[in-house]
Chain A
């Protein structure tokens, strides 16, 4: 049977290594192959390490099952949305308070005037009321006006805008303009089948929007020597015209255009970078870096469908430097287009290639699959309902 005495002959001694950290990396699949191999060989004979690994494995499986819930619980955007809700509620309460205060003040003044003045002062009162401090909504002003003259005499002819309300009717004042009554129905609330499908699409779009919040890659200029333009300022913002100095037939022209495009890209002038990269690509159609950043610029401009072709060109050239990134951002383009199965495929490829985006790709993949699983589940429920 396995024995602790075999530690001595083993390359790895679990008493001397940072076991927790090493096992976390192993379970998440981020360990170097050589170390992974040694660790596995060690696990074969070490009961203690087997127990630790087993606990972490259970934890991973549970986290995997609840990944979507855990992520959404702590999404910064949710926290932000909560604060926005608090701010909006506070603002509404403040506006309500100020409005009520003004209303009370105006009413008290009107009452004081009506007690002190004779009916012939009516026009004067009206003038005072109408020229008073402006109310936030016209309907409040009109209703206040109606209430002030309730029971005294006929109110003056005030031009009414919008929907007519019954005059001199007591009750709460409307605080907002009249609702059109065209609120969209919520999913599952006596909705027609078509409406349910519409809601699910909306939900998918929201989920996809969450998924597709991916940072654009940075571009770093690798040296001054790379810059070919004199002056070093690139093209001015918002005015991209191909400089006459660039000879479009020379091989260096594509590089010049690329460098200028990257200046625009770094300054987040994506429309300019797209134009320049488009020009560069006509000279060097197969250049992976030009195609890659063209795709990224189009993604940034909200043109995911146009970003697909450049990414595919990058992948066709099998460039090691850009391959993982192309898969990853192509997946994001698909996600923006709600082509989720294709996005899944691309993310899986990105996750299978070693590189800086591997963890992000895995994370996105988990999210995407959770969403796909949810949508499949809700589809089944709908189908069952329809069958019944």
Chain B
């Protein structure tokens, strides 16, 4: 058994006996990635934060109750829990027919984290605004609307190759520049 698997096994065992530090370790391992996944799926940062908390809470409760027997399956267990809770959230949101326009903004709970977030958003905006309008349009149609390269080329009256090259260049530039940013 690899050391990584042994560490996981030990972590799970500690959580099962109620070790608070082990729980903190598990939260540190998964919090960022879960927040990213929930943000992508819900398209709502505030909702994603709440959902991440719910997922971590559900995972910890499951581990305490001994629902996971194999340490190797911890990632799958976390992911399965996340998917279930995200799907539940999306279903309930569709049922509620909540209006995004009228919903009031949540009060800021963590001012420093909020300031960091605003700064990152400002940097990304500044970077995106430095791109040509066509590049921004390509990114918008790709990332937001989910159009294929062919559809984008058709809509913007640009060749397929040009769209592919531009998108690839812009994304590489963007990820290279901002993937070094600290955690969310």
Contact = CB atoms under 8 A, between A and B. Distances in A.
Contacts of A358: 146
A46 B141 CA distance: 27
B178 A58 contact: yes
A24 B151 contact: no
Interface stretch (B16-24, B60-68, B72-80, B105-113): B72-80
A56 B100 contact: no
Contact of B37 (A3, A43, A60, A76): A43
A63 interface: yes
B117 to A, nearest CB: 9
A20 B168 contact: yes
A29 B136 CA distance: 19
A167 interface: no
A5 interface: yes
Contacts of B75: 41, 44-45
A54 B29 contact: no
A27 B141 CA distance: 12
A62 B125 contact: yes
A25 B128 CA distance: 19
Interface in B138-184: 139-148, 151, 156-157, 167-168, 171-172, 174-175, 177-181, 184
Contacts of A29: 40-41, 146
A104 interface: no
A114 to B, nearest CB: 60
Interface string A299-330: 00000000000000000000000000000000
Interface in A1-28: 1-3, 5-6, 9, 20, 24-28
B66 to A, nearest CB: 21
Interface string A224-266: 0000000000000000000000000000000000000000000
B28 A50 contact: no
B184 A54 contact: yes
A24 B145 CA distance: 11
Interface in B50-109: 72, 75-76, 78-79, 82-83, 94, 97, 100-101
Given A57-B39, A76-B157, A359 B146 contact: yes
Interface string A27-69: 1111000000100110111001011111111111111101100
Chain A CB count within 10 A is highest, among B4, B34, B40, for B40
Contacts of A345: 97
Interface residues of A, number: 54
B110 to A, nearest CB: 18
Given A1-B28, A59-B139, A28 B168 contact: no
B43 to A, nearest CB: 8
A56 B143 contact: yes
Contact of B83 (A37, A71, A373): A37
Interface string B32-51: 11101101110101000000
Interface bracket on B: 35 or more
Nearest to B120: A58
A352 interface: yes
Given A44-B78, A55-B175, A70-B140, 9 more contacts: A40-B79, A43-B33, A44-B34, A54-B179, A59-B143, A359-B147, A362-B146, A363-B141, A373-B101
A182 interface: no
A134 B26 CA distance: 90
A74 interface: yes
A55 B167 contact: no
A324 to B, nearest CB: 14
Contact of B181 (A20, A40, A55, A63): A55
Nearest to A33: B83
A366 B144 contact: yes
Interface string A313-354: 000000000000000000000000000000001000000100
A82 interface: no
Contacts of A51: 175, 179-181
Given A60-B143, A63-B140, A358-B146, A24 B171 contact: yes
A376 interface: yes
A1 B30 CA distance: 9
